[in-house]
Structure 1
Amino acid sequence: MTELSKTFDPAAIESRWYRHWEEKGLFRPDRPTAEPWTIVNPPPNVTGSLHIGHALDNTLQDILTRHARLKGKDALWVVGTDHAGIATQMVVERQMAASGEKRTDLSREAFVDKVWQWKAESGGQITAQLRRLGCSMDWANERFTMDDGFSTAVLKVFVELHARGLLYRDKRLVNWDPGLGTAISDLEVETREVQGRFWHLRYPLANGSGTIVVATTRPETMLADMAIAVHPEDERYRALVGQQVRLPITGRLIPIVADEHADPALGSGAVKITPGHDFNDFEVGRRAGIEARDMLNMLDARARVVQTADGLIPDAFLGLTTAEARGVVVARLKDEGVLIPHVDKDGAEHDAEARTIQTPYGDRSGVVIEPWLTDQWYVDAATLAKPAIEAVRSGAIRIVPKTWEKTFFNWMENIQPWCVSRQLWWGHRIPAWFGPGLRPDGTLINGDVIRVDANFRETTRQPIAEQVFVALTDEDALAQARSFYPEGVAIRLTQDWMDRGQHESGVVVLRRDPDVLDTWFSSALWPFATMGWPDDADPTLGGRYPNDVLISGFDILFFWNARMMMQGIEFMGDVPFRTLYLHGLVRAADGAKMSKSKGNTVDPLGLIDAYGADALRFFMAAMESQGRDIKMDEKRVEGYRNFATKLWNASRFAQANGIGGSTTLEPPVATLAVNKWIVAETVQAVQAVDLALADYRFDAAANAIYQFVWSRFCDWYLELIKGNIDAETKAVAGWVLDQILVLLHPFMPFITEELWHALAPREHELIVAHWPMADARALDPEAGAQIGRAIELIDAVRGARAELNVPPGTRIALHTGDGEVPATIAPYVERLGRVTLAAGEAQGARAPILWGAETFALALDGVIDLDAERQRLQKSLAAAEKERDALAGRLNNPSFVERAKPEAVEKARADHAEKSADAERFAAALARLG
């Protein structure tokens, strides 16, 4: 038994115990005959650092993992990091820029080598931070989404999906980030409100019979307009459908089409259609019969104006940024007399109406995102989604909370093709090679014309027929090419996209696709690629698919969770996990979303430094209420550090009184009512925690433990047994304390492991101990009723003493009148209530004490100044009532409730409740005095 220090210092124990667990391999599954239990962590970016969302996500996972381990299961928590294509490439490019280098100064291979070097030296900082949080992950099998085994799985899935017709190349609109020069996912787009303008343009009908007015927030894109859309039921324009308008500036003729996208109630009811630069317009264009290959793209990869396919954009616009082009276009429209001025409320004319516009920005680059028409690789998500939808409907996958199912079905049933290619150098390079197509006579097609930007990305090209070969290896690609091209044709593979072999007569050059795969494509394989698929190289991981549960934020339900479902069912024939638990976001104390720009983020490592990892973990669990967002509250974290301190001090009390660890899982034999009561309370706490964790109610589990430890064990049991700790009580107290440590371990692993070893010599660590048994046979209703009655009376006495300002150290008489306090509990009442029990009625001043159906009385003569106490209470009551009524008046004022900030209204309600309770308390105290 190690003597505990007087003060609890989290920093002194956390690193020591984590290092011990990891060095002894206690996180590694090592129970081959036990039931396997598996969870995989959402792999954080290799560039990342621990933020408060990670702290919540990983705390919940660790609670379940440690709980499963304590339940005797062979628990595995798979850990790893994501290569984070865009983020990592940006980090390394910034590092290079600091020393005057650019990525394009290097070959692609040299740049990728530099990224690997950065990873070896600086990457993976977050894994050390996860250790600080106490995450019991299997570090011996740590994975990386670019390691050799995982890369093999990623490329195999790409090739297989292509062979099955579920992955293809297509020309569509994507979210294009001109700052990064790549397509990005919706998750990487940040919508901001910006002050913009709304222009009204008058387009002339081609037959000269009139004009049609359209409105736009982006007049520069009119250079690539391809139609005007009106609603098919809009009587104003029905006769114009099928006619043409002459586009100002370029003079091109474009049709007027009928489409329900046009809202008759919005603006003029007619909208310009630019299918190459707007997602809604793209769909309108397709419905109007415009093929994607014929849609006009007026921007290059850096969002500068380029010539459209028909060459009608005037040279004066070429090379301009979108902002520059907007100014020139508006000036030209004004000169041509087609710009309709806006008249404000004061009668002044302006070129446009001021408007707040929702504008998409790249969350990393910070530049405006352009919908851009380009060739990319797509997955047929609609087909893959069908089995995933059925899995949720059938219950093969349980989504918790269930309220997310409706959102899941709505998104999955309307899912769009998934763009999986990215224009980067860091990532899984797409296993596809391009070569010249063949004419019907079998001769090669040559003479393709290509324009490229500084990043070697194609911007415009004449349509040519290219043949693509998708293969896992160079050898497979060559074999496919030899089967396609005529005999005798020499074939050469190159990794250089720009190498077209122009000077090699009779040689077909197969160029490797320069793009890499979206990181969500590779992370979608996480539940089975981390288990050794397709090689099953690690036999200890066999039988680990599907995983038991997946925990993630609701914000990646579609970007990761749904895609794991699709890929897992397609390639493994089974769901990737049985339960999907979606937690909310951690918000600032006022409920606002945390962001660096607002300056309201919270550093979890700072909280760990201040209060310890255990306190932060317990806060996360106690506040996690199935999908609801968590408001950050540092005072609550501090409170849970105090909770840990209380348990520490209780253990010191146990040590000082000869109470040590238990030698049995079964509760010791108890004859005293107080011991029977605490055994029953322990069993009920175990039952409550078991039920809560089975239902993924982390808050209910944490609060059940908290109430039991703080109130039942520390505040009552230890107080009740003080001064009368016999052998039986030592055995019971030691057993209860052991149960507490095991119950609390998943939530607070560090302090519980420290106390476990301090209380007794142990054969094993707490992390691999046995979870308590909720044995109902240990319940004793009679003993529980006895101690419960004692606690009620002591509480009533203490409450009255506090209300009446009785000095804490003063012992006073408690008269029982015609009633009686049973001898079994009388000593507890006298000692803890600081009273002396007396028969009969109290004389003189007295305060009534209600105890069930009986009324006792505290004798107050000579104890307090009754008149002074009445005056104090009356003054306090009046002040509380005044504040209560003022707050009630404010809350009953609709103007305040509707216009004030939500946090101000919430505070007013909380203050009103507090003052109402104060008023009731003071009134009750006055009533006691009579």
Structure 2
Amino acid sequence: MQTNLYEQIPTKYNPKEIEEKTYQFWLDGKYFEADNNSDKKPFTIVIPPPNVTANLHIGHALNNTLQDILIRWKRMQGYDALWLPGTDHAGIATQNRVENMLSQDGLSRYDLGREKFLEKTWEWKNKYGDIIINQLKKMGCSCDWSRERFTMDEGCSQAVREVFVRLYEKGLLYRGNYIVNWCPRCETTLSDIEVEHEDKQGKLTHIKYPATDGSGYITVATTRPETMLGDVAVAVHPEDERYSHLIGKTVLLPLMDREIPVIADEYVDSEFGSGAVKITPAHDPNDFEIGQRHKLTPISIMDEKGYMNDNAGKFSGMERYQARKQVVEELRNLDLLEKVEEHDHSVGHCYRCSTVIEPYLSDQWFVKMQPLAEPAIDVVKKNDVRFVPDRFTKIYLHWMENTRDWCVSRQLWWGHRIPAWYCADCNEVIVARETPSACTKCNSTNITQDEDVLDTWFSSALWPFSTLGWPENTKDINKYYPTDVLITGYDIIYFWVARMIFSGLEFMDQKPFSDVVITGLVRDAEGRKMSKSLGNGVDPLEVIENYGADAMRFMLATGTTPGNDQRFNWDKVESSRNFANKIWNASRFVMMNLGDLQYEQVSLTGDLKTSDKWILHRLNETVKNFDRLLTRYEFGEAGRVLYDFIWSDYCDWYIELAKLTLNAEDETAKANTKSVLCYVLDKILKLLHPYMPYITEEIWQHIPHEGKALVVAPFPEYSQQLVFTEAAEQMQVLMDTVRNVRNIRAEMNVPPSKKIALLIKPNTDNHKQIFESGKAYLQGLCNTESLDIDLELKTPEKAMTAVTSGAQIYLPLEGLIDKDKEIARLEKERQKLQAEVDRVQGKLNNEKFVAKAPAQVIDQERAKEADYKAKLQKVEERINELK
């Protein structure tokens, strides 16, 4: 891309014509690539890797836009900026998608076998991984694509195995038979934070357990009566006098005819239900712990699919809810059902498929969390890792301070297979970095690898350093770790952020990042969460197709505040596109008037006019405020500062002021104004580039500039030499006057083309001097026929007046309008408004209407009444002024 003449730039801004070619220009120039050999200070962001399950949604567009704003800003500030991209294999989610795809052909993963199924899953990954990367490119994301990573690529896989082995060697990883959250649909374990709890209306079933000595029975209450088939005890509180005589005795387990003991445990809540609790260690986490304390042997009565197994006796083969109904029915027939009552309780669901989870006893791998959590808590309490906004610190600390051991094994095929092998001859467990050929204890070759894979978040937790080449000692890891900032949603603070922090501290002896910026959700225009079921989702590519990537980016960025949700609104996207058109047209005007001005000729050393100094001062203030706000991650406010300066100060005011000079005879003043126009536009494009990269690069390439690409041009800096406080104050007085004159014109329906007489009575001698020196601005922008500035000005009898920041201004009515015609027009308007007031008041005075109409409708009518009366009053005031 090379500088072209003004005539070569299109008259209208068309995003489709510039976005693809501009992105390719950046790629060809390798402007996104970090250089680990440079002596520049690094600034690093690792992308929250999107799941290779489907296309990106509008929430991804927000998150990645904010990251791109930061990385482009820092790159232009001279940092060796690395934004490292990649995708996540998303174990459960991706396997579910592939299995659903196979089911359409009547196949299951078992029909294919593990190897063929993984081939299909890699095909899926390649397809959607490519789609995701292309979407990010369409959005304008300036990632270093030469360093793109995937959580299951060779390097990340090596890091995962290294971490697993190190944790095992350190005693922080163990295998045991424990209660886990189990999804019968996905047939895998879930960690605690992968379980979503919903309040549901269920039933509390009260069951009689007969005492074996014939002395009566004890009643227990349960929400899951089918699990009674695996009961191994009944527990009561040791201080509950109602049951003290039963402690140590046995009862007969209904339907199974099995004697089980009555035990005492302080965990039991005497106030809940009957105060007696059935103990089923294989199907309840609390019961499991009670069973451990009392050395009870668990009995599992369910399989991985949620069906009753052989231990369930005659209920064997029944699905869990079918068994529940049958158990209750048989208890009723045996007169062992005391009662069934409605009961609201929290029910855990799988976060991926929404199936009700089942507490399930199985052999799993666990990470000991307490030793890892303690330093991760300290680093946040010391503010070494900072959450923005700060309120999310409490959420993080609450989870970390109450975390339980992390179950990291998953019963899936897609993922990092657990690097553990079991010897069939001596039962040795071999955990190794490299695949063993024989048992390390007995040398037998009869060894098999664990069938399970690791939790997706196990590999994601290593993302900030595994992507930089760890465990190898690479140049990238030495320069770019720790990273600087993570931008992510509040919904994965537990899943991902916390795990990255403790993993970074454990394996790198350093925090993984300094700041965690939390974004909210992008909701629909009505504030609802976007979902497939509601059909209210927004495709980022659709927005880009219709409005361009810059408009989407600017809308999302300026609509966000840290940690808060925002609403997606098509009108706001259109407003952002209008902003792009405004910049395009203003830039064309500037280029049209620059002539053959070269970059080397742009100078601010001449005798600048007040308007020139004012716009330079405002530019300088904007640079300072933008830097302050973006440093605090206030993307929305920083964007609005730019918007106000560009739209109002530069386009609406300075360009109009510049026209007065450009159309005058003073060639020196013209040359100075051209330099200022070009200088400020150059800085505007640089300031706006992180938010709207495409249009800014395109325009910049057409104006006088220095360098090959805007994407790597120096970012504007605050300069004390551009502080023109006095000129800024003077221009505010003049602009306030122009605004008031234009308001009066609008109120009096005077067209802008009609010349007026303007009288100004300054407040002070200083203000008089300001008005005198700014005469040309006032004459040009107010379109005056005559202009009188006088400290002793006598108030005219018939004039429209306004008080400004430096004077009283008057527009004599004589000659301004045809009084008779204007009074006639206003009388018609008065009659029309009076009729509206009468109509609305007639409604509100109608008792039947007020009694039947909804409150909202009545409120609307009252608002109309107030609006019409206010307009009527203004019209009457104008009529009186004219008479």
Deviation at 1:203, TM superposition (A): 3.3
1:122 and 1:853 map into 2 onto residues whose CA distance is 63
User: CA separation in 1, counterparts of 2:537 and 2:601?
Assistant: 47
In the alignment, structure 1 residue 694 sits paired with structure 2 residue 631: yes
1:722: Cα distance to partner?
Answer: 1.3
- Residue matched to 1:337: 335
Q: How does 1:253-332 map to 2 (within 5 A)?
A: 253-257=259-263, 262-263=268-269, 266-286=272-292, 288-290=293-295, 294-308=297-311, 313-314=312-313, 316-332=314-330
Residues 789-821 of structure 1: CA deviation (Å, up to 9, x unaligned): 111111122223333444444333333357657
How far apart in 2 are the matches of 1:405 and 1:914? 47
Q: How many residues align?
A: 846
Return the offset for 1:824. Answer: 2.4
2:511 equivalent in structure 1? 575
Equivalent residues of 2:252, 2:258 under 8 A apart: yes
Q: CA deviation at 1:98?
A: 3.9
The residue aligned with 1:825 is: 774
SS at match of 1:533: coil
Q: Which residue of 1 aligns with 2:641?
A: 704
Matching residue within 246, 252, 255 for 1:246:
252
Query: Which of the residues 596, 613, 618 maps onto 1:676?
Result: 613
Report how far residue 240 of structure 1 moved.
5.2
Residue type of the alignment partner of 1:129: Q
Whether the 8 Å CA contact 2:235–2:262 is kept in 1: the answer is: yes
After superposition, the Cα gap between the structure-2 partners of 1:163 and 1:920, relative to the gap in structure 1 and judged at 3 Å, is farther
Secondary structure of 1:624's match? coil
2:718, 2:652 → 1: CA distance? 23
Q: How does 1:173-572 map to 2 (within 5 A)?
A: 173-186=179-192, 188-191=194-197, 196-230=202-236, 236-237=242-243, 244-257=250-263, 262-263=268-269, 266-286=272-292, 288-290=293-295, 294-308=297-311, 313-314=312-313, 316-341=314-339, 352-354=340-342, 358-436=346-424, 466-475=427-436, 478=438, 481-482=439-440, 484-485=441-442, 491-492=444-445, 509-537=446-474, 539=475, 542-572=478-508
Where does residue 813 of structure 1 map in the other structure?
757
Asked whether the equivalents of residues 201 and 215 of structure 1 are also in contact (C-alpha less than 8 Å), the reply is: yes
- In the alignment, what sits opposite 1:636? 572
Map of 1:600 onto structure 2: 536
Q: Report the CA distance between 1:247 and its aligned residue.
A: 2.4
Give secondary structure in 1 for the equivalent of 2:778: helix
Mapped partners of 1:154, 1:734: distance in 2: 54
- 8 Å contact from structure 2 (residues 625, 641) kept in 1: yes
* Aligned residues of 2:660 and 2:780 also touching (Cα < 8 A): no
- Asked whether the 8 Å contact 2:179–2:360 carries over to 1, the reply is yes
Residue 612 of structure 2 is aligned to residue 685 of structure 1: no
Q: Which stretch shifts more, 867-876 or 368-377?
A: 867-876
Instruction: Choose the corresponding residue for 1:869, options 826, 839, 842.
Output: 826
Relative distance call for 1:15 and 1:848 in structure 2 (3 A) is same
* In structure 1, C-alpha distance between the alignment counterparts of 2:796 and 2:517, rounded to whole Å: 63
Q: Look up the equivalent residue of 2:304 and give its one-letter code.
A: A
**In the aligned structure 2, how far is the partner of 1:319 from the partner of 1:235?**
41
Name the CA distance, whole Å, in 2 between partners of 1:261 and 1:645.
68
In 2, Cα distance between equivalents of 1:260 and 1:562? 33
Asked whether the 8 Å contact 1:222–1:274 carries over to 2, the reply is yes
* 1:79 Cα offset (Å): 0.7
TM-score, reference length from structure 1: 0.84
- Counterparts of 2:282 and 2:836 in 1: how far apart (Å)? 69
Cα distance in structure 1, aligned partners of 2:287 and 2:839: 62
Name the SS of the counterpart of 2:594 in structure 1. Answer: coil
RMSD between aligned alpha carbons?
3.4
Per the TM alignment, residue 184 of structure 1 is displaced from its structure 2 partner at its CA by 2.6
Q: Is the 8 A contact 1:205 1:244 kept in 2?
A: yes
Q: Are the counterparts in 2 of residues 668 and 735 from structure 1 also a CA contact under 8 Å?
A: no
Equivalence for 1:759: 703
Aligned residues of 1:753 and 1:766 also touching (Cα < 8 A): yes
* 1:617 pairs with one of 526, 550, 553: 553
Residue 850 of structure 1: aligned partner = 803
Inter-CA distance 629–923: structure 2 relative to 1 (3 Å threshold)? farther
Higher mean C-alpha displacement, 165-174 vs 740-749: 165-174
In 2, Cα distance between equivalents of 1:541 and 1:668? 47
Residues of 2 paired with 1:164 and 1:742: CA distance? 51
Confirm or deny that 1:128 pairs with 2:134: yes
- What's the CA shift for 1:613? 0.9
Aligned residues of 2:201 and 2:343 also touching (Cα < 8 A): yes
1:921, CA displacement in angstroms? 7.7
CA 1:876–1:649: 2 relative to 1, 3 Å: farther
Report the alpha carbon displacement of residue 390 of structure 1 after superposing the two structures with TM.
1.0
Q: Which ranges of structure 2 fall in alignment gaps of 5 or more residues?
A: 663-669, 845-849
8 Å contact from structure 1 (residues 551, 581) kept in 2? yes
| Residues in 2 aligned to 1:878 and 1:271: alpha-carbon distance in whole angstroms | 76
Residues 347-378 of structure 1: CA deviation (Å, up to 9, x unaligned): xxxxx445566443334445332221111111
User: How do 1:765-784 residues align onto structure 2 when only pairs under 5 Å count?
Assistant: 765-784=709-728
Deviation at 1:866, TM superposition (A): 3.6
CA spacing shift, 1:880–1:679, aligned 2, 3 Å: farther
Change (3 A) 1:618 1:306: same
State which of 96, 99, 121 in structure 2 corresponds to 1:93: 99
Tell me, yes or no, if the aligned pair for 2:762 and 2:806 is still in contact at 8 Å.
no
- What residue in structure 1 maps to residue 665 of structure 2? none
Deviations 1:186-240 (A, max 9, x none): 4544445656444333333444444444333322122123444555666655665
Contact residue 68 and residue 142 of structure 2 kept, 8 A: yes
- Identity, in percent, stands at 43
- What runs of 5+ residues in structure 1 fail to find an aligned partner? 342-351, 438-443, 445-465, 493-508, 888-892
CA distance in 2, matches of 1:242, 1:98: 56
Cα gap change, 1:251 to 1:876, in 2 (>3 Å):
farther
TM-score by length of 2: 0.88
Preserved contact between residue 800 and residue 925 of structure 1 (Cα < 8 Å): no
Cα-to-partner distance string for 1:661-690 (whole Å, 9 max, x where unaligned): 854998554520000000000000000010
Q: 1:661–1:738: 8 Å Cα contact kept in structure 2?
A: no
Map of 1:797 onto structure 2: 741
2:666 aligns with none
